[in-house]
Structure 1
Amino acid sequence: MDVSGFMHKYYDWAAFETFVKDLHEGDGDVTVQRDVTEVDRYGAKRQTDVKIVRRSRFQQFITLVECKRWKEPVSRDRIDVLASSIEALGASNGVIFTTTGFEEGAIAYAKAKGIELYVIRDLTPEEWGLPGRHISLTLHVTAAEFRNIQFKAEAFMLVDAAPGHMELKIDLNPNNALDPDFDLFSVNTGERGPNLVGILGDAHGMILAALGKSVGVFDEGKQSILEIIAPCELDFTRTEFHQLRLPKLAARIERIGFAIRAHISQSAINVDRGSDLDFAVMVESYVSAKRLVAHRRIGAAEIVFQNAASSENPPTSAEHPLQNGSLISVYCSPWVGLGSTVANKTGAVLGQTIQVVVETEGHKPQLSLVAQPLPGGTPAQI
């Protein structure tokens, strides 16, 4: 028995009839009865699974419904039986609901007789929205901070008095990325160019993404925090904008070395999109091509109906639809940092320096990332 959907709940004819009756309750001014036995105009007894009486101001319309919780498709002879009951009981029309479909001859004959045919079935993964009702993913949230920032630079005094020991403190925050005191100047023309803190922030994002992509699911997907520490370098030798002007001196920056300490926080995402539903099914006509999704939340009385896309024109899916088992990666901004999180697993990128080369197009920085082996070293696998 398939229990991934909801139709297994209506496993016998009585439960299925009650379910079909519930689908029609509250649809305007109607009276809906289940398992009705009447004497027809010819004096014979006829049993109807569900009888619907719909009233307008001056008239009433009677619909006879047959419910077939069968293992095989409904055949043409059942259309004949229903057509006979419609005529003998003076009903307006008839409908057959089933869970298994209809034979081709039955569909053509029902169209000729004006009888509707519906299949009630569980939703497909596409109808739930891929990857389906049940979603099982792994989430990586990656954050990092810079450590031990060191400048390889040549300083030029702007005042006569030597300043003595100088320290340049750079705080990675969005305000400093807009602070003109951290703007870089062209060594060729003296023009003001990009902001040093902004470049550090962009480099942070590139390195973080590279580290995150290098790590797949670990510890069998269990909740865990992996720490990676890697040596990095920011190379300014290919851009003219690498002069930083301080109150007493100008620094011509060639390279900035630092270590990046990254945490990859892993967690599992397991979602049952039907957990709060009593049911969610497709009600699909084989005559009029009408398709309705019917669902009801647990504890609610009302059944909600929504029009579904035609089976001939299904909704277009993404080029790369989400699949169960996928790894979803989220990268934090450079301003986030690591806070007080403690890793329970370590994996260092040894034997290589992650190098970010800074170039410029006009005044706009262009960054590219390469991995440079350290002398005598080879890249290590995480």
Structure 2
Amino acid sequence: MATARKERTASLLSRFVKNWGGFEELIANMHKTGDVSVQRDVKLTGVRGVPRQIDVLVTHKRGPYEFKTIIECKYWNAKIKRSHVDAMVTAIQDLNVSKGVFFTTKGYQSGAKKLAKSAGIDIFVVRELTDREWGGPGRQWEFCVQVITRSIGNLKLNNAFVVQATAREQAPHFDVHIVLGSGEGRTETPAFNAQKAPHDCTLEYLLETGSRKALDQVTIANTTFNGRTDCVVYMKIERVLMPFEPPLQVKLGSAWVTCPSIEFELGIRVDQKQISGDRAKYWAHAVAIEDCVNEISYAAGKRHTDEFATIQPMADAKEQATDGRGEEVKNGSFIRIFSNEYFNFAEVSRLTPVVIPDLMSLKPTSSDAP
């Protein structure tokens, strides 16, 4: 698969350029940024009276001033020679234009580079963008993505009792109605500590943080299912126990309920999908341009949806490597996304639960409980 991806990447420039005429068209389109006038295959007559064929003519007007740049497009199998640059110097003088530029795909001989630098002629090499220049993970991407969703069922307030002014009435079972997630139906059940001091949390918050902690213990890193193909996998954890010290107090309706621990079953749904794509399909053209005199690289491109093309300097590779973004996601990576939404516990109610001893006593941290 990696070999096929490399071959497809290598053929991208040939997709934009079919022949020498296509190369001229590419260079012309690159310069259509909206700031200049661009003409292809133009004939200009100089002071000597000799017509000269110009591959691409770029005209830039600013107030009463007009600047013309003539561009030679060489889609050759050999490097540009000094004699070609020398001919460009003559053409600039004869046509009285502002600038001369070369574009090629094969490079320049040393003599051509020296003359171009001394004569003020820009010389560029057009090449493929590297994967790093496309931006991680590259032009083509392929991942295995898992979206993990939770569900809570059979919630119990263990050894709970109602707190009254003069007595404590044992109440082993409470009808607790809660709705988790970020939807409009979400409930907010106040939770307090044993001294009844307000605490900035709810029963819903405790269940969400506790179930996420349990989920982290259950989830096996970099685990895929069914050969990384698209599938849905369910799991159910028999018992997640959350003890509280001091005991938790929850307001259910008009009653205050105290309980030393909460217990529930945890349902897990894993939606696995293999995704891939090619960034190049969104671009009419996308190439790198190397300035062989000033040693600066540019990214030139135009999306299918854009009116104009862009040519922008590319960040230095060393700067990209130290820009603080961390390690890039690589092709073939396994990506896990934890959803804050909850699915219906009925989807896993008939599954045989998995018993994991480490989850039998999930003690909340100070941020999890009042």
Q: What TM-score bracket applies, with the shorter chain setting the length?
A: 0.7 to 0.9
Report which stretch shifted further, 119-128 or 306-315. Answer: 306-315
Aligned-pair distance for 1:99?
Answer: 1.7
Q: For structure 1, which runs of at least 5 residues remain unmatched after alignment?
A: 368-382
Correspondence 1:1-382 to 2 at 5 A:
3-4=8-9, 6-9=12-15, 10-24=17-31, 30=37, 32-34=39-41, 36=43, 41=48, 47-52=53-58, 60-153=66-159, 155=161, 158=164, 166-173=173-180, 178-180=188-190, 183-186=191-194, 189=195, 191-193=197-199, 195-214=202-221, 216-236=223-243, 239-244=245-250, 251-253=258-260, 255-288=261-294, 291-298=297-304, 302-311=307-316, 314-315=319-320, 316=323, 318-333=325-340, 336-339=341-344, 349-354=354-359, 355-360=361-366, 364-365=367-368
| Alignment partners' CA distance in 2, 1:29 and 1:261 | 61
The alpha-carbon distance between structure 1 residues 26 and 271, as it changes in their structure 2 partners (threshold 3 A), is closer
Rounded to whole Å, the distance in 2 between the matches of 1:101 and 1:78 is 13
Structure 1 residue 142: deviation in Å? 1.0
Q: Offset at 1:264? A: 0.5
CA deviations on 1:271-303 (whole Å, 9 max, x unpaired) are: 322323221223342335565433334487x43
Aligned length: 352
The one-letter code sitting in structure 2 at the alignment partner of 1:32 is Q
Aligned partners of 2:257, 2:324: CA distance in 1, in Å? 56
The alpha carbon displacement at 1:222 in A equals: 1.7
Alpha-carbon distance in structure 2 between the residues aligned to 1:240 and 1:57: 79
Q: Name the TM-score, length of structure 2 as normaliser.
A: 0.77
Q: How far 1:113 sits from its partner (Å)?
A: 0.5
Q: Which runs of 5+ in 2 are unaligned?
A: 1-5
Distance 1:23 1:230 in 2: 58
CA–CA separation in structure 1 for the residues paired with 2:255 and 2:32: 84
Partners in 1 of 2:346 and 2:334 — Cα distance? Answer: 22
The sequence identity of aligned pairs, in percent, is 20
CA distance in 1, matches of 2:256, 2:93: 102
What is the CA distance between 1:130 and its match in structure 2? 1.0
In structure 2, do the counterparts of structure 1 residues 8 and 72 end up closer, same or farther at CA, with 3 Å as the change threshold? same
Alpha carbon RMSD of aligned pairs, Å?
3.8
- Please give the per-residue CA displacement for 1:339-375, whole angstroms capped at 9, x wherever unaligned: 49968xx896445352420243xxx4369xxxxxxxx
Letter in 1 for 2:291: S
How far the C-alpha of 1:323 sits from its partner, in A, is: 1.2
Take 1:206 and 1:6, find their aligned partners in 2: how far apart are those partners? Answer: 46
Asked whether the 8 Å contact 1:76–1:109 carries over to 2, the reply is yes
Q: For the Cα contact (< 8 Å) 2:267–2:345, is it kept in 1?
A: no
What TM-score do the two structures reach when normalised by structure 1?
0.75
> 1:331 Cα deviation (Å)?
1.5
Structure 1 pair 160–307 and aligned structure 2 pair: CA distance change class (3 A): closer
Secondary structure of the 1:63 match is strand
Give the drift of 1:13: 1.8
